[in-house]
Structure 1
Amino acid sequence: MRKSLLILLLFSSFGLFSCEEKEIVTEVAPIELSIDMVDSLDLEILGNPLMASVNKEGSLISFFDFPSSETIITNSNGEILGQFSKKEDTPDAYGFKLELPVLWGEDRVILIGMRGIFIYDLDGNMIKKIDHAEAMGSAGSMSMPGLTAKIVRLEGKEYLMTKSFRSRDTYPGEQKFYDTYKAVELVDLETGEMQDFGPFEADTKFLDGMGYVQSDYAPAFHVRNGKLYLSHGSDPILYIYDFSAEEAKLDTAIHLAIPDFYEVEGLPRSEFSPGNVTINGGTAAIRNILIQDGKVLVHYYPGIDPKIMEEARALWSTGKEEEGEAIYNKAASETKPGILVFDEKSLNYLGTLSFPTGINPSGFMADDNFLYFQRTPDPDVEEDFLRIYKKKLTEK
């Protein structure tokens, strides 16, 4: 597998804003970063399960198979250690899936559904159930590698961080929704207590008076060294908060300059109604944030041109499904995600990396040291395995 190498741009600049909105423009000398192959593993199983999460140690990997609703856990060699489904109507079933399965340590997996947060052992035996902060009404699910809940550490204690699913007795057709919105939920896995964080800040597009659907603002987030890194989906701003289990205080906002990033436009709020959830997988978005080796990695998906999306929808609506699907698939194949790289301490922009070739462009996941990408299956060959590439971000 060729390593994906990019000589990073000279004198590229981003706007950094403190909470006082003082603008600072930074310039950096060129460096070389590459995403190098370290290892690969093959999961020998029929079907095409989606790579979901890896534990911090890199010893366990979880997958989710949609046709069977099975959670699959393997070791780093691809050997299946656990495989179970909880779609039955039983007390230990999580209900409609809201997040991909999240590994916790060496022996637990967490599934989040409409019925609550469920902690299982690797065989699917329920260890604990945590109720949601509010009774669930309606919600949607976006399933992409790396876009799921995370185990985070604060002051030596591990918590679960997930998207917040609180309704707050409102919906996106009301101003109250935007005034009260919080992006993420921090869950104390011992007590079940929850605290939500990440409002729409004053500079966000989501306070422009228009209405937005769930996939427009679906958050990406990461916690490291007392900092919460947060982006609201299609709004290309990286917010950095001083963070504890009790509060988040905005420190810095980085306005991201991403070429060909199709920011969504809002809809009239009159088009929204309570209980309806819309998700568009082709929307431009920040999909993942993580930190490795002193570098902040921000994975972005630039989105499909809205004009092409409208053309495809028009064909579908007139019964020309195949033509619409062909236009959509062509546009999706030409849409190239990337990874913005910043220095963790100075927040200087270091450059942008392209995704390696031959892998699922929807996303990737990471442990404390490595990146994991899911290989795209050969469309012309029936395969009975799934291959995962283990890679390392290195500086030359």
Structure 2
Amino acid sequence: MKISYIIPFFAILIFSCQTKDHQSETNSSGLPSYRMETVDSVTVKDILARIFMFQTADENHVVFRDRATSDVYVFDRDGNPVDKWDKTGDIPGAFSIASGNLTLDKAGNLVVLDVMNGLKVFKKNGDIVQNFGIYQNQWSLGGAFSLFKSYQVIEKEEKEYLLYSLDIIEEATGDYGPEYLQARNNLILTDLETEETKTFLPFPEGSQFLNGNVFLFNDFKPVFTYDEKSQLLYLMFQNEPILYTYDWSGEEPILKDQTKLDLTGFVAGEGFEKGAVSFGKISDNKINPYPSSVLNLEKYGENIIITYKPTPSDKGDLALAASGEVSKELKAKLYEESKKRTVILTQKGDIVPLSLPEMILYDFSVLGEDIWWMKKYTGDEEQEDYTVYKSRLVKE
């Protein structure tokens, strides 16, 4: 079976910090280089699924899902089937294709957040542990299927929480304007035992999203990762090339550092005047075609892995794309120029490009020291056997 892109449309303490000098993305001599080295793989066979994707793994099991349905597949580490179940339709614990990827809590239960149906926790056999509702109904939803994480199970003070964001967290009071962004909290934390939920973390002082304009929601949706060992929260907003680092050793995260990153081809937007963008609009190709976007942020050892999409450099090409007057050849050119790129931000502040193997969606999942990914399928016949690879970054 060929795997295709499908886009479903179902729809942050303010502190002043100096921004560090621009970091450069370069292959210059003297900088380290990295490669991915495969250390293990798991092959599963005889699968009949429309969009079969890796979800998560622990020392005993590997979990997959058909992202076009709610079918969940559990295998042992040798690829032998252990369980298969689904939560489709009007049943307890139901979740839809609008949900994110399954992740694990410390007990080995599967956690999934569905913007349509809420937060769910299951045992690996499908039994319901928690069946929470959604925190806030969403105005508009969108995004392609991805192996990148959109939420994270974290532990603080011996309690487990889900750390996440939603496109819309609260409704605007009156017209959508800069006042909304000045007051907005960007992250959500839900207690996985009690469902107690709070929003927190406004835009830091100096963020472009406090410049008095309004923005499309994909521009300021956060990507983040929390490192439990150091108790640091790393966060970027999708259209702002600044890495914010928060000390989260206390009850609330405190901004510790902000670093402006010189990502090749990345163009940050200035926003739009009030009234030019409607509330809840995710993106708009007519006014902002091929926007730069930070897609994923992962702490890996002492470094940070960042995946982003650049903006094509030719403004004339972008104007044609905005008008809809784009040829097949130009569309292919723009697609190539805006392909995802992955870089490593080293502990010393260098930005080093990372070449990745051909992957499904060019995406991967970081679990501890391991990077899990699946090969891009290029065969003509329907695919029934799938292999997920476990790799690690090696410094050359």
TM-score range with shorter-chain normalisation?
A: 0.7 to 0.9
Letter aligned with residue 130 of structure 1: F
Find the aligned partners of 2:267 and 2:147 in 1 and give their Cα distance: 21
Q: In the alignment, which residue of structure 2 is the partner of 1:331? A: 334
1:21 match: secondary structure: coil
Q: In the alignment, which residue of structure 1 is the partner of 2:160? A: 158
Letter aligned with residue 51 of structure 1: M
2:204 matches 1:188: no
Residue 146 of structure 1 deviates from its aligned partner by 1.2
TM-score by length of 1: 0.79
Find the aligned partners of 1:296 and 1:245 in 2 and give their Cα distance: 23
The 1:334/1:22 distance shift into structure 2, 3 A limit, reads: closer
Residue 51 of structure 1, aligned match among 50, 53, 71: 53
Find the aligned partners of 2:37 and 2:146 in 1 and give their Cα distance: 22
Letter aligned with residue 17 of structure 2: E
Find the aligned partners of 1:354 and 1:32 in 2 and give their Cα distance: 8
Letter aligned with residue 246 of structure 1: E
Residue 128 of structure 2, aligned match among 123, 126, 131: 126
Q: Work out whether residues 234 and 246 of structure 2, in 8 Å CA contact, stay in contact via their aligned partners in 1.
A: yes
Residue 257 of structure 1, aligned match among 259, 262, 270: 262
The 1:191/1:167 distance shift into structure 2, 3 A limit, reads: same
Q: In the alignment, which residue of structure 2 is the partner of 1:216? A: 219
2:262 match: secondary structure: coil
Find the aligned partners of 1:58 and 1:331 in 2 and give their Cα distance: 42
Find the aligned partners of 1:105 and 1:336 in 2 and give their Cα distance: 35
More moved, 112-121 vs 82-91: 82-91
Find the aligned partners of 2:117 and 2:134 in 1 and give their Cα distance: 8
Q: Deviations over 1:34-63 (max 9, x none)?
A: 2212223334323453535424x4544444
More moved, 63-72 vs 177-186: 63-72
Q: Deviations over 1:288-329 (max 9, x none)?
A: 2222222222222224567656545644xx8x9xx55x6545
The 1:238/1:380 distance shift into structure 2, 3 A limit, reads: same
Find the aligned partners of 2:19 and 2:291 in 1 and give their Cα distance: 30
Q: Work out whether residues 308 and 328 of structure 1, in 8 Å CA contact, stay in contact via their aligned partners in 2.
A: no
Q: In the alignment, which residue of structure 2 is the partner of 1:99? A: 100
Q: Work out whether residues 225 and 233 of structure 2, in 8 Å CA contact, stay in contact via their aligned partners in 1.
A: yes
More moved, 237-246 vs 62-71: 62-71
Q: Work out whether residues 117 and 130 of structure 1, in 8 Å CA contact, stay in contact via their aligned partners in 2.
A: yes
The 1:48/1:75 distance shift into structure 2, 3 A limit, reads: farther
Letter aligned with residue 21 of structure 1: Q
Residue 309 of structure 2, aligned match among 301, 313, 324: 301
Q: Deviations over 1:128-149 (max 9, x none)?
A: 122344x414241433211321
Q: In the alignment, which residue of structure 2 is the partner of 1:385? A: 385
Query: Counterparts of 1:197-212 in structure 2 under 5 Å?
Result: 197-212=200-215
Find the aligned partners of 2:323 and 2:89 in 1 and give their Cα distance: 38
Q: Work out whether residues 50 and 145 of structure 1, in 8 Å CA contact, stay in contact via their aligned partners in 2.
A: no
Q: Work out whether residues 16 and 204 of structure 2, in 8 Å CA contact, stay in contact via their aligned partners in 1.
A: no
Q: Work out whether residues 164 and 196 of structure 1, in 8 Å CA contact, stay in contact via their aligned partners in 2.
A: no
Consecutive unaligned residues of structure 1, counting only runs of 5 or more, are 1-17
1:206 match: secondary structure: helix
The 1:355/1:156 distance shift into structure 2, 3 A limit, reads: farther
Letter aligned with residue 300 of structure 1: Y
Q: In the alignment, which residue of structure 2 is the partner of 1:115? A: 117
Find the aligned partners of 2:62 and 2:333 in 1 and give their Cα distance: 31
2:186 matches 1:178: no
2:391 match: secondary structure: strand
Query: Counterparts of 1:273-292 in structure 2 under 5 Å?
Result: 273-274=278-279, 276-278=281-283, 283-292=291-300
Letter aligned with residue 99 of structure 1: G
1:216 match: secondary structure: helix
Residue 168 of structure 1 deviates from its aligned partner by 2.3
2:182 match: secondary structure: helix
Q: In the alignment, which residue of structure 1 is the partner of 2:374? A: 374
Counting aligned pairs with the same residue, the percent is 19
Find the aligned partners of 1:61 and 1:332 in 2 and give their Cα distance: 33
More moved, 121-130 vs 66-75: 66-75
The 1:339/1:181 distance shift into structure 2, 3 A limit, reads: same
The 1:91/1:357 distance shift into structure 2, 3 A limit, reads: closer
Q: Deviations over 1:258-284 (max 9, x none)?
A: 111233453443133346544879542
Find the aligned partners of 2:295 and 2:236 in 1 and give their Cα distance: 8
Find the aligned partners of 2:331 and 2:318 in 1 and give their Cα distance: 7
Q: Work out whether residues 37 and 392 of structure 2, in 8 Å CA contact, stay in contact via their aligned partners in 1.
A: yes
Find the aligned partners of 1:126 and 1:303 in 2 and give their Cα distance: 43
Find the aligned partners of 1:273 and 1:23 in 2 and give their Cα distance: 34
Residue 230 of structure 1 deviates from its aligned partner by 0.4
Letter aligned with residue 383 of structure 2: E
2:219 match: secondary structure: helix
Q: Work out whether residues 52 and 102 of structure 1, in 8 Å CA contact, stay in contact via their aligned partners in 2.
A: no
Find the aligned partners of 2:23 and 2:337 in 1 and give their Cα distance: 31
1:178 match: secondary structure: helix
Q: In the alignment, which residue of structure 1 is the partner of 2:10? A: none
Consecutive unaligned residues of structure 2, counting only runs of 5 or more, are 1-14
The 1:24/1:331 distance shift into structure 2, 3 A limit, reads: closer
Higher relative contact order (CA 8 A, sep 6+): 2
Q: Work out whether residues 159 and 191 of structure 2, in 8 Å CA contact, stay in contact via their aligned partners in 1.
A: no
Q: In the alignment, which residue of structure 1 is the partner of 2:3? A: none
Root-mean-square deviation (Å): 3.3
